[in-house]
């Protein structure tokens, strides 16, 4: 068995361990979790699935519960700059030494008879770290789908499904109904099942009913509205008036925040919170790469949107944040995304496109993006670049006072832009 001294070596080895990078199914990961005695955690588990809004919802849950004094573990993916971002305990990213020790524990437990994917290996490491951390609550973000995702080996005390859109169709299905069934796989009998999508596929409710989960739907069990001094939220039993807006930009974040408050409401007997905890948590929440504004004389906005649904939310934000000048979009996308539909949604709010080639076998070239853009959208100036850094540098060189630069299309694109901004 390997004994690596650095986190980089462990991660590089995990990439080669399993024959398929994505291999949905619970049998292998469940077998190792049983050996590690991870299947009956001594803390509450909140599992979050969905196409868009997962990361924001996880961040708000973590921020509010932490503001209430609870010890929270958080597992999310993917990361932007460091793998350590995926695992947080009491607000702190896990350090390299603890991660290496956890990976070694997983490797010992899997033995020679069980191969694990990169995500499965990381999930078991996170659950192992949480089992030792004396947590009150662990928040687990589904990597893909829900039913067959590695985090679903644990029974959630409360489950949240956010907005559902077409994504990962090769694994989850070609329409929202099929994808909704996969997302709803995190629901458990007798436990709260919250859905913050105001128009979810019927398959989500049907599955909740089939497993006898306690169903809480946006627009029925809870609702929200804007107010003069913030926003309002109500459920059948509770109301909040004039809450502060979430610190995450975009009006769509109210939908995510509303679902988060419903989850906290159904857990209120075990984990009571005061209004001030909710206010502090909403105001303190931060999440890199989600409508993130960089400092500088030219407004620069980074967003990991990569499917048509998230493109619509980004387009809405850009309309709300109108600028005097031109909107210059640095775009890099992966080949398994619907780039044509994505750019068609954003085309009305983008003046000039800076198309970047992404690295790796899944990355689209700038030339491939150009063909997709020409086939689906009207466009102004359109330029091609060998990488994201060069595209960002040129977009900022072209920008004048009153313009803005937007970087989007993939976690990879935003990560490379963040690295460039720190140089």
Structural tokens at position 281: 């948590």
Evaluate whether residue 147 is within a structural domain: yes
Average pLDDT over residues 109-132: 94
Reported as a single tens digit per residue, the pLDDT across 60-89 is 999 999 999 999 999 999 999 999 999 999
Q: Indicate which CATH number applies to the domain containing 415.
A: 3.90.190.20
Tokens encoding 175 = 């329409």
pLDDT of residue 356: 97
As a whole number, mean pLDDT of residues 159-167 equals: 87
Q: Number of helices and strands (H, E) in the chain?
A: 15, 17
pLDDT at 402 > cutoff 90? yes
Domain boundary among 266, 284, 302: 284
375 inside domain: yes
For residue 269, what pLDDT is reported?
Answer: 96
Q: Can you tell me the distance from the alpha carbon of 260 to that of 251, in angstroms, rounded to the nearest whole number?
A: 15
pLDDT of residue 282: 98
Give the percent of the chain with pLDDT over 70: 95
Whether 52 and 170 map to the same domain: the answer is yes
Using CA atoms, how far apart are residues 282 and 171, in angstroms rounded to an integer? 34
Rounded to an integer, the average pLDDT of 372-394 is 83
**301 in a structural domain:** yes
Contact, 167 vs 51, CB < 8 A?
Answer: yes
Considering the domain boundaries, does residue 2 fall inside one? no
Does 357 share its domain with 409? Answer: yes
Q: Are 32 and 106 in contact (CB under 8 A)?
A: yes
Residue range 365-391: average pLDDT? Answer: 84
- Is residue 1 situated within a structural domain? no
Give the least confident one: 1-5, 159-163, 237-241: 1-5
Q: Are residues 353 and 213 in the same domain?
A: no
| Strand 92-93 versus strand 230-235 pairing type | unpaired
Q: Tell me the residue range of the domain where 370 lies.
A: 292-422
Residues 329 and 396 in one domain: yes
- Chain-centroid distance of CA 317 in Å reads 18
pLDDT at 279 over 60: yes
For the cut 60, the answer to whether the pLDDT of residue 1 exceeds it is: no
394 shares a domain with 248: no
With a pLDDT cut of 90, the percent of the chain lying above it is 75
Look at the chain and count its residues: 423
Residue 299 included in any domain: yes
H or E stretch including 224?
strand 222-227
Query: Residue 379: its pLDDT value, please?
Result: 61
**Statement to judge: residues 388 and 243 lie in one domain:** no
In the chain, the number of structural domains is: 2
Q: Are residues 30 and 167 in the same domain?
A: yes
- CB of 409 closer than 8 Å to CB of 302: no
Q: Is residue 333 part of a domain?
A: yes
Asked whether residue 301 falls in the same domain as residue 260, the answer is: no
Question: Looking at the domain assignment, is residue 144 inside a domain?
Answer: yes
Q: Which secondary structure element, helix H or strand E, spans residue 230, and what is its range?
A: strand 230-235
Q: Are strands 72-75 and 92-93 parallel, antiparallel or unpaired?
A: unpaired
**What is the rounded average pLDDT of the residues 163-169?**
72
Do residue 230 and residue 117 come from a single domain? Answer: yes
- Checking phi first, is residue 256 left (phi over 0); if not, alpha (psi -120 to 50) or beta? alpha
Using pLDDT thresholds of 50, 70 and 90, give the confidence band for residue 23. Answer: low
Task: State yes or no: cis peptide before 32, omega within 30 of 0.
Answer: no
Domain boundary among 284, 306, 335: 284
Distance (Å, whole) CA 379 – CA 104: 51
> 356: which 2 tokens?
């970047």
Give the separation between CA 366 and CA 372, rounded to whole angstroms: 10
Strand, coil or helix: what is 137? Answer: strand
Dihedral of CA 273/276/280/283: which sign? Answer: positive
pTM of the model: 0.92
pLDDT at 49: 95
Of 235, 258, 284, the residue that ends a domain is 284
Tell me, what's the pLDDT at 171?
A: 55
Q: What is the pLDDT of residue 77?
A: 92
Q: Are residues 75 and 182 in the same domain?
A: yes
Residue 275 and residue 333 share a domain: no
Q: Taking 70 as the threshold, does the pLDDT of residue 265 lie above it?
A: yes
Helix (H) or strand (E) holding 2: none
Mean pLDDT of 365-387: 82
How far is C-alpha 149 from the chain's CA centre?
14
Distance from the Cα of residue 35 to its chain's centroid:
29
Residue 198's domain is classified under what CATH number?
Answer: 3.40.1190.10
Q: Are residues 96 and 192 in the same domain?
A: yes
Mean pLDDT across 18-24: 67
Distance CA 98, CA 19 (A): 27
């Amino acid at each position: 068995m390997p004994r690596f001294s650095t986190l980089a070596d462990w991660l590089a080895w995990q990439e080669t361990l399993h024959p398929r990078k994505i291999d949905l199914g619970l049998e292998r990961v469940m077998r190792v979790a049983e050996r590690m005695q991870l299947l009956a955690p001594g803390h509450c588990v909140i599992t979050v699935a969905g196409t868009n809004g997962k990361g924001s919802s996880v961040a708000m849950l973590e921020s509010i519960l932490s503001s209430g004094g609870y010890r929270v573990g958080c597992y999310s993916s993917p990361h932007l700059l460091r793998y350590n971002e995926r695992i947080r305990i009491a607000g702190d990213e896990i350090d390299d030494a603890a991660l290496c020790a956890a990976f070694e524990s997983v490797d010992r437990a899997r033995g020679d008879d069980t191969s694990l994917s990169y995500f499965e290996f990381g999930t078991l490491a996170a659950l192992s770290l949480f089992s030792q951390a004396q947590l009150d609550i662990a928040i687990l973000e589904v990597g893909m789908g829900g039913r067959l995702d590695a985090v679903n080996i644990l029974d959630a005390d409360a489950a949240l499904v956010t907005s559902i859109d077409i994504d990962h169709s090769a694994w989850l299905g070609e329409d929202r109904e099929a994808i909704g069934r996969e997302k709803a796989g995190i629901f458990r009998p007798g436990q709260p099942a919250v859905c913050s999508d105001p128009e979810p596929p019927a398959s989500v409710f049907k599955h909740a009913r089939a497993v006898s989960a306690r169903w809480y739907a946006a627009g029925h069990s809870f609702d929200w509205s804007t107010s003069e001094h913030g926003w309002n939220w109500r459920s059948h039993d509770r109301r909040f008036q004039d809450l502060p807006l979430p610190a995450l930009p975009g009006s769509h974040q109210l939908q995510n925040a509303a679902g988060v408050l419903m989850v906290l409401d159904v857990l209120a007997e075990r984990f009571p919170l005061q209004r001030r905890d909710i206010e502090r948590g909403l105001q303190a929440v931060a999440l890199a790469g989600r409508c993130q504004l960089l400092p500088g004389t030219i407004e620069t906005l980074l967003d990991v949107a990569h499917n048509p649904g998230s493109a619509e939310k980004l387009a809405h934000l850009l309309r709300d944040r109108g600028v005097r000048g031109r909107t210059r979009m640095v775009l890099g996308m992966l080949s398994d995304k619907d780039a044509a539909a994505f750019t068609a949604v954003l085309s009305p709010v983008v003046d000039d496109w800076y198309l970047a080639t992404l690295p790796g076998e899944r990355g689209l070239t700038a030339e491939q993006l150009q063909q997709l853009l020409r086939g689906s959208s009207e466009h102004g100036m359109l330029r091609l670049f060998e990488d994201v850094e060069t595209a960002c540098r040129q977009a900022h060189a072209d920008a004048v006072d009153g313009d803005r630069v937007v970087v989007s299309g993939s976690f990879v694109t935003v990560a490379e832009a963040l690295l460039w901004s720190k140089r």
